[in-house]
């Protein structure tokens, strides 16, 4: 079933746990990002990934995942209006969160805010949600 079809049946299809599950995933993942950003030094496991991928690639992947989670939440659990705009809303929400995360890091000891990180967050969020929405879970045009 496509996002658009689900949006037509919002009241019956998105009730209860299914509806809130998408938002719980977004909030939990955003909380994980916040927690990791609040650490003066990354945990050892993250440090290993940073060395393998690099900081910029990690930012792109991190916010790519966030944008896909947002896309699914807007598409399945926010009503018809949001479902038809899920890609745009997911990108805007992810970039907005990336900006607030960098501001937050400016106040964390041994961390700093870096506009280049926001740029990579935006690239990752945009590429991931466009890929997901077009190839993995496309919204079909109305007849």
Q: How far apart are CA 112 and CA 28, in angstroms?
A: 24
Backbone angles phi, psi at 140, to 5 degrees: -80, 145
**Per-residue pLDDT reduced to its tens digit, 44-73:** 877 787 777 888 899 999 999 999 999 999
CA dihedral 40, 35, 89, 9 (to 10 degrees): 170
Output 46 or 121, whichever has higher pLDDT. 121
pLDDT over threshold 80, residue 140: no
Helix (H) or strand (E) holding 17: helix 16-37
* Window from 3-17, 35-49, 92-106 with minimum mean pLDDT: 3-17
Please state, as a whole number, how many other Cβ atoms lie within 10 Å of the Cβ of residue 60: 23
Environment class of 56 (CB within 10 Å of its CB; exposed 0-12, middle 13-18, buried 19+): middle
Mean pLDDT (whole number) for 27-56: 87
Determine the Cα angle at 137 with ends 99 and 82, to 5°: 55
State the chain's mean pLDDT as an integer: 85
Output 136 or 116, whichever has higher pLDDT. 116
Mean pLDDT (whole number) for 107-126: 95
State the pLDDT at residue 10: 47
Instruction: Write the DSSP symbol of residue 15.
Output: -
Q: How far apart are CA 64 and CA 132, in angstroms?
A: 10
Q: In angstroms, what is the C-alpha Rg of the chain?
A: 16
The domain limits of the chain are 3-136
């Amino acid at each position: 079933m496509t996002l658009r079809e689900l949006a037509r049946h919002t009241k019956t299809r998105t009730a209860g746990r299914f509806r809130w599950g998408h938002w719980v995933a977004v909030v939990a993942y955003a909380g994980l990002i916040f927690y990791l950003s609040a650490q003066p030094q990354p945990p050892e496991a993250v440090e290993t990934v940073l060395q393998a991928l690099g900081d910029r690639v990690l930012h792109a992947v991190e916010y790519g995942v966030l944008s896909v989670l947002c896309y699914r939440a807007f598409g399945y659990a926010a009503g018809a209006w949001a479902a038809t705009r899920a890609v745009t809303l997911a990108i805007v929400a992810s970039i907005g969160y990336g900006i607030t995360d960098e501001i937050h890091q400016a106040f964390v000891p041994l961390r700093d805010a870096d506009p280049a990180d926001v740029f990579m967050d935006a690239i990752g969020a945009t590429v991931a949600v466009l890929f997901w929405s077009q190839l993995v879970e496309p919204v079909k045009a109305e007849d």
